A and B are shown apart, each in its own frame.
Chain A
Amino acid sequence: MIITLIYRLIVAFVLFLTLWNLFTEKTLNKQMNAALVIIPLILRVLMIK
C-alpha cells in the first residue's frame, strides 16, 4: 500500500514537471514530446491503467 502510494507520488511529480514544461516550453518539438510523455503518466496517476 505504502509502496503504491510512493510510486504514485513519483509518477505525479514527474507528471507535474512534464506538464509545467509543456506549458512553458517555447519550441513546438519539445511541446509535442511533452504531450506524448504525459499520456501514460496521467493514466497511471489516476490508476486507470
Chain B
Amino acid sequence: MQLQLIIFISMVGIFIAGCFLLKLPVSVSMVAAAVTGALVSGNGIPIRHLVEGTFGYLDTILVIATAMIFMKVIQESGALDALSSIIIQKFHRKPALLLILLMLIVMFPGMITGSSSASVLTAGGLVAPIFIMMGIPAVDAAAIIALGGLLGMIAPPVNVPAMIIGGGIDMPYVGFEIPLILLTVPLAILFVLMLGLKHVKNFNYEDLKSKLDTTDIEKYGFKIYIPIIVVLLLMILGKVIPDIISFGMPVTFLIGSFIGLFTGRKMNFIKISKEAINTALPVLGILMGVGMFIQIMTLTGVRGFIVVNSLSLPPALLYLGIAVTIPLFGAVSSFGASSVLGVPFLLALLDKNQIITAAGLSLIASLGDLMPPTALAGIFAAQVVGVDNYFLVLKKCIIPSLIIIAYGLLIILFSNQLASFIF
C-alpha cells in the first residue's frame, strides 16, 4: 500500500473518530486529522503549515462574517419580515408561485454570503414558521430549507466552492452567473414544488394573515428595503464598472449594515454583530479546520495522490467518481470536497467548458452540507423547525440529492453545447 494512501486513511479515520466517538466539533476533528497526517508522514507537528492552512480561507471568513452581520442587521431592522409579509400578501392566491418566492427568500442569504448556513439560520428561520403555518410538515419544511440553503450557496453572485475549484487551476471567478442560474433556479423550483405543493393546495390565507408581522412595513415604508437594494446595487456596479466601484464583498456588506441601522427598527450594532459572529463560528471554525486538513494533504503528497488517481480514471468511472466521491467527501465539508476533489476532476475534464464544468462540480459539492457528521445545512435546518432527529430530514433529501447529482453531471456532459448558447 502506498504511503499516501496510509496517510489519507489515517487522517479520515481520526476525523471520523473525532466526530463520532469523541463528539468533538468538526473543526477540531479536522485539526486532529491534520496533525495525525503530519505525524504519520514523519513531518512531526508542522505548526507553520497548520497556520498557513488557515490563511487559505481568511478572505472567505471575512466575507461570511460581514455577510452574517448584514443579514442580522436586516433581520433585526424588520426588512426580512417585511419582505416575507409582502410576498405572502401579494401571492397568497397562487400557492405554487408563493412557494417559489419563499424558496428564493431562503436562498437569498446564501447567494450573498456563499454559505448555506447563513441561508438556513437567517431566512430559513424566518420562513420556516410560514411553511408550517401553510400546512407543510416540519420535516418537509426542514428539507426545503436545507435544499434552499444548498442552492443559495451555489447560486450567483457568490459561490465559494466554484471559487475554490477555479482557484485550483488559476481560473478567475468570471462568467459564472448564467451557468449558476441555470443550475440552481430550476432545481429550486422543482424541489419546493415537489416537497411543498401537495401540502399547501388548500391552505387558508385568513389563518395566516393574522400571524403576519406587517407593523414594520407600515411604520417604515419602502425605506426598510434600502440596505438590500444598496448591497445589490453595489454588487452589480462592482461587476459593471469595476474600475470605479470595486469595494469588495466585506466593505459592501458593512455599508449595507450601516445603512440598515437607520432604515428600520433601532438596534445595538455591536451586540448584533457579536451575535452574528457567534452564529457563524461553527462555519468559520470548519473553514479553519479544512484549511489545515488540506494544507497537510498537500504537504504529505496525499493531494497529489488523489489528483493522479482521478486523472487516470477512465471516462465512465470518472463520472461515477464525481457522483460518489464528491458528496461523500462532503462529510469533511463541501469546501474541502471542492478543493481536494473538485480541482482534480476539473483537470480531468479539460476537454469540457471549464466554467460550466466548475459550476456543475460546485453544485455536486454542495451536497456535502447535507452529509453527516458535518451536515451544516441539514442540521441547522432541522434545528430551525424543531426536528430533533436530523436523519428524518436527510431521508427527505435523498431523492433531491440524486436529482442534484444527475443534473450536475448532465450539465457537465453537455457543457460544450451549453457554452455555445451562453457565451
Contacts and interface: CB of A to CB of B under 8 A. Distances in A.
Interface of A: 6, 10-11, 13-14, 17-18, 20-21, 25, 29-30, 32-34, 36-37, 39-41, 43-44, 49
Contact of A30 (B58, B254, B273, B281): B281
B289 A36 contact: yes
Interface in B44-62: 51, 54-55, 58, 61-62
B417 interface: no
Contacts of A32: 25, 27-28, 285
Given A20-B274, A30-B281, 9 more contacts: A21-B274, A21-B277, A25-B281, A33-B27, A33-B284, A36-B285, A37-B285, A49-B51, A49-B55
B27 to A, nearest CB: 5
Contacts of A17: 65, 273-274, 276-277
Nearest to B286: A33
A36 B273 CA distance: 19
A28 to B, nearest CB: 9
B251 interface: yes
A44 B250 CA distance: 16
Nearest to B270: A17
Given A14-B277, A30-B281, A33-B285, A39 B51 contact: yes
Given A34-B281, A37-B285, A39-B288, A10 B274 contact: no
Contacts of A6: 251
Contacts of B284: 18, 33, 36-37
B56 to A, nearest CB: 9
Interface of B: 24-25, 27-28, 31, 51, 54-55, 58, 61-62, 65-66, 250-251, 254, 273-274, 276-278, 281-282, 284-285, 288-289
A33 B62 contact: no
Nearest to A40: B54
A43 B27 contact: no
A24 to B, nearest CB: 8
Contacts of A34: 281, 285
Contacts of A39: 51, 54, 288
A36 B54 CA distance: 9
A48 B31 CA distance: 22
Nearest to B56: A40
Given A21-B277, A33-B27, A14 B288 contact: no
Nearest to A11: B62
Contacts of A41: 58
Contacts of A21: 274, 277-278, 281
Contact of B277 (A18, A29, A40, A43): A18
A43 B53 CA distance: 13
15 contacts: A10-B251, A13-B273, A14-B61, A18-B277, A18-B284, A29-B25, A29-B28, A32-B27, A36-B27, A36-B28, A36-B31, A36-B289, A39-B54, A40-B58, A49-B55
Contacts of B51: 39-40, 43, 49
B281 A10 contact: no
